[in-house]
Amino acid sequence: MASAHTLGWEVLGFIDGYEGLLSPVNYKILTLENTQGIMPSGGTIIGTTNRGRFVAKQGLGEKALIPQPIIDEAKKTLQDLGVRALICIGGDGSLTTADQLFENGVSVVGVPKTIDNDLSATATTFGFDSAVQCVADALDRLHTTAASHKRVMVLEVMGRHAGWIALYGGLAGGADVILIPEIPFSYERLAAHVEKRMSSGAASTLIVAAEGASPMGQGVSTLEGATKGEVRLGGIGAQVAYEIGERTKRETRTVVLGHLQRGGAPTTQDRNLGTRFGVGAVQLIQEKKFGCMVSYLNYQIGAVTIKEAVGQIKHVPPDGQMVVTAKAVGINFGT
């Protein structure tokens, strides 16, 4: 915002994201005055829509083309308003839409914002660190009640196809077990590990399960009710707790962190990263590098093509350094 105003640019914010481009067109002029003081706030002051008329992702690796009439209407809105560049902020779904707009002649620049940290071509996305902090805080609190009652506690966190939040949050919060989509687990081995810990005198066992984690040979756990776009995942925490309780006869409880991970004040790291991404996006527009997304690599802000960024999901390497580190301090992955 500030860097754009320094250049004398007028900045518009389309209400509810891409939906604001369609009739009835809805936007607000963003000024230094009406954006002052928003740094400590999570979320967005202009709203967002992830299941509207611009849904461009149906599932892992599946791309749904946005109908041409919608693309054409959005382009006309931008032309009528005299918008010279569109900054699209979001994860793989939002940026897949941005890429389709770019392919249709819209001058687009992307900014990676997703708590899942699953975008390729950037080391991290803003929102991720805040989500990890939320998980670590929850584990800090669960340690108390779990140890007091000698319970097994299962904390279900977000992470559809990638387990970055579970891995980083679990390691920071002192989890005993971490279950992620990239490493299928065995209920038998998981229960055996829990029983060994508790029988050896451990006061409790804390398990962090990404919503997309799944047992060997089984699919992910889904919820009813999704009507458009990707299916809703959930329920793995309850399943894990049930199986452990049945197999070990230990008292087991489940906590689903859910959208608490998406709210609250952002961490200082995310505040700084978001600011740097914003300045980087303005620089890309200045340089007319449309169809690109700002990225963070080797502690520097750079740029990659949006197509490269959304071409594949960034998964946790099962033999990568973070997993190796977790195992070295005794964390089990249910294998």
Catalytic residue numbers, as ranges:
116
Inter-residue contact 51 to 89 (CB < 8 Å): no
Inter-residue contact 13 to 28 (CB < 8 Å): yes
Taking each helix axis as running N to C, give the angle between helix 92-103 and helix 68-81, from 0 to 180 degrees, rounded to the nearest 10.
80
DSSP string across 152-172: EEEEEE--SS--HHHHHHHHH
Contacts of residue 61, Cβ cutoff 8 Å, sequence gap at least 6: 312, 313
Q: Which two tokens stand for residue 115?
A: 């708590």
Identify the bridge partners of residue 179 per DSSP, sorted by sequence position: 209
Token look-up 């693309």 returns 71
As a whole number of angstroms, the longest Cα–Cα distance in the chain is 70
Q: Burial level of 53, CB count in 10 A (0-12/13-18/19+)?
A: middle
Compute the distance between CA of residue 172 and CA of residue 150 in angstroms, rounded to an integer. 21
Strands 152-157 and 177-179: unpaired
